[in-house]
Amino acid sequence: MTTETLVPVDEALTRFDPVMGLEIHIELNTATKMFCGCPTEFGAEPNTQVCPVCLALPGALPVVNAKAIESAIRIGLALNCEIAEWCRFARKNYFYPDMPKNFQTSQYDEPIAFDGHVDVEVDGETYRIDIERAHMEEDTGKSLHVGGSTGRIHGADFSLVDYNRAGIPLIEIVTRTIEVPGDKAAAVARAYVSYVRDLIGGLGVSDVRMDQGSLRADVNLSLKPKGSTTLGTRSETKNVNSFRSVERAVRYEISRHAGILDEGGSVLQETRHFHEDTGTTSSGREKSDADDYRYFPEPDLAPVSPSREWVEELRATLPEPPAVRRARLQADWGFSDLEMRDTIGAGALQLVADTIEAGATPQAARKWWLGEMARRANEQGADLDSLGITPLQVAEIQKLIDAGRINDKLARSVFDGVIAGEGTPEEVIVGRQLEVVSDDGALGEAVDRAIAGDPDAAQKIRDGKQAAAGALIGAVMKEMRGQADAGRVRELILEKLT
């Protein structure tokens, strides 16, 4: 790999303006695939969800999944798009070992939804992102390269292909050029992806899990010398799979492009891979003008012409717009403006909402997701929703705290256990023996030992200095590994010494 000259982002932005384009692929959660009746369950045994159609056996023909069309229309409406009165699928012809037909059935110049926009907020400022189009296509299969150390094709002994994913319906949402103040570009990119995730999640048409690939973002970026009107050459960083990575990918590409341009070089138009571990990108396939997909209308599929009545019916079923919903939730939860902004900024809005829905108080839900969980996510460089703990589990743990079964400190250990896959919160408490002890017998003995071990403190309490109880409580807690009911311990100490 060649060494890149990287220019710090702040410095780069003194000379260049970033220009971005974002493409988001969303796997729909339809029960069956885009063009056949195969199931779409995630994580099934390889090649168990395949048929002649999605394997592209000779003679097999596609038929459009009506539910996928409905989902596409709902997504288009949520993105404030126009819905085409008549559109077609097209064939995008190229070879890829895990693409069975060697063309992807997609939409080209006739997308089902086009000309929309969304407004995203960063630091209290609103930025409008224009949507060029949202079109339907099918996913490819997955290649697994076996034998190499990197999991990449180079150095592998052989490759296996799993076609379970081939033919799963995708919606690709393409923005128009995004030009925002350079120091905001990365945050706006992140906020946009996060916004779209919430929006689509709210429609219930996709699992929108970045960690499972049901929402994938491609980041196109180019730099324009300040004052210039001509666009630079862009790079396309593919399949960035967390919000945080979207932000980092933008920043890294700004640095890298600036380095190349400063040295008088020219940026290659290519696709790039993002590396979560280092926050860097590396060259993928060079993408030049020679790429020719030979698009033409898919002759095996009838055109799609959703009736206006149907579109209006679907519009009527849309959930409330995000801005309205946020205002409502803020009022319901009693959050301050700052609390609400932090919650949204952390990508935790839906998680907090789901946790409250599952029975936690708004403040408790916010406390865990923006405190404990945000800290863990930061440490792991992951997004909140890929930590391995669900809003339902967080709410359950809070209920156990409220019931006095555990305390806040023990809860952290319960989180560890749940995330480590040790079972439900209840099972973790039993497995790790985390339950709070409030039984007077056991606590009394521990208190006696603490008094015996710290006669000075005991004497101070006898002298009426109740503040000295803290040292004895600490000793009891330490002996009981944090599992003592602190309030009861205090009472016992005072009973025994006053």
Output the smallest distance, CB 296 to other proteins, in A.
Answer: 6
Compare residues 63 and 420 and give the one whose CB is closer to other proteins: 63
The DSSP symbol for 230 reads: S
Compare residues 157 and 309 and give the one whose CB is closer to other proteins: 157
Q: Max alpha carbon distance in the chain (Å)?
A: 94
Stretch that binds other proteins, among 116-124, 183-191, 225-233, 291-299 (CB under 8 A): 291-299
Among 6, 161, 268, 486, binds other proteins (CB under 8 A): 161
List Cα–Cα distances, 158 to 133, 145, 146, 152, 422, in angstroms: 39, 6, 5, 11, 35
Among 6, 174, 301, 358, binds other proteins (CB under 8 A): 301
For every residue of 43-68, DSSP letters joined together read TPPTTSS--TTTTT-TT------HHH
Which secondary-structure segment (H or E) carries 170? strand 169-175
Stretch that binds other proteins, among 226-234, 257-265, 295-303, 421-429 (CB under 8 A): 295-303
The DSSP symbol for 267 reads: -
- Binding of other proteins at residue 146 (CB under 8 A)? no
Among 6, 60, 174, 471, binds other proteins (CB under 8 A): 60
Output the smallest distance, CB 174 to other proteins, in A.
Answer: 19
- Binding of other proteins at residue 93 (CB under 8 A)? yes
Stretch that binds other proteins, among 7-15, 96-104, 218-226, 483-491 (CB under 8 A): 96-104
Q: 294's torsion region: left (phi>0), alpha (psi -120 to 50) or beta?
A: left
Which secondary-structure segment (H or E) carries 171? strand 169-175
Among 44, 144, 302, 324, binds other proteins (CB under 8 A): 302
Token output for 252: 């890294």
The DSSP symbol for 319 reads: P
Output the smallest distance, CB 54 to other proteins, in A.
Answer: 11
Cα–Cα–Cα angle for 437, 440, 443, nearest 5°? 60
Among 48, 102, 305, 380, binds other proteins (CB under 8 A): 102
Output the smallest distance, CB 226 to other proteins, in A.
Answer: 34
Contact of 246 with 240, CB cutoff 8 Å: yes
What whole-number distance in Å separates Cα of residue 311 and Cα of residue 348? 31
Output the smallest distance, CB 164 to other proteins, in A.
Answer: 14
Compare residues 289 and 379 and give the one whose CB is closer to other proteins: 289
Compare residues 143 and 413 and give the one whose CB is closer to other proteins: 143
Compare residues 67 and 399 and give the one whose CB is closer to other proteins: 67
For every residue of 368-419, DSSP letters joined together read IIIIIIHHHHHHHT--GGGSS--HHHHHHHHHHHHTTSS-HHHHHHHHHHHH
- Binding of other proteins at residue 296 (CB under 8 A)? yes
Compare residues 99 and 217 and give the one whose CB is closer to other proteins: 99
The residues that bridge with 215 in the sheet, in sequence order, are 26
Among 43, 58, 227, 441, binds other proteins (CB under 8 A): 58
Give the residue carrying structure tokens 């060697």: 102
- Binding of other proteins at residue 294 (CB under 8 A)? yes
Contact of 369 with 387, CB cutoff 8 Å: no
- Binding of other proteins at residue 158 (CB under 8 A)? no
Using CB under 8 A, list all residues that contact other proteins.
52, 55-64, 91, 93, 95, 97, 100-103, 159, 161, 292, 294-296, 299-302
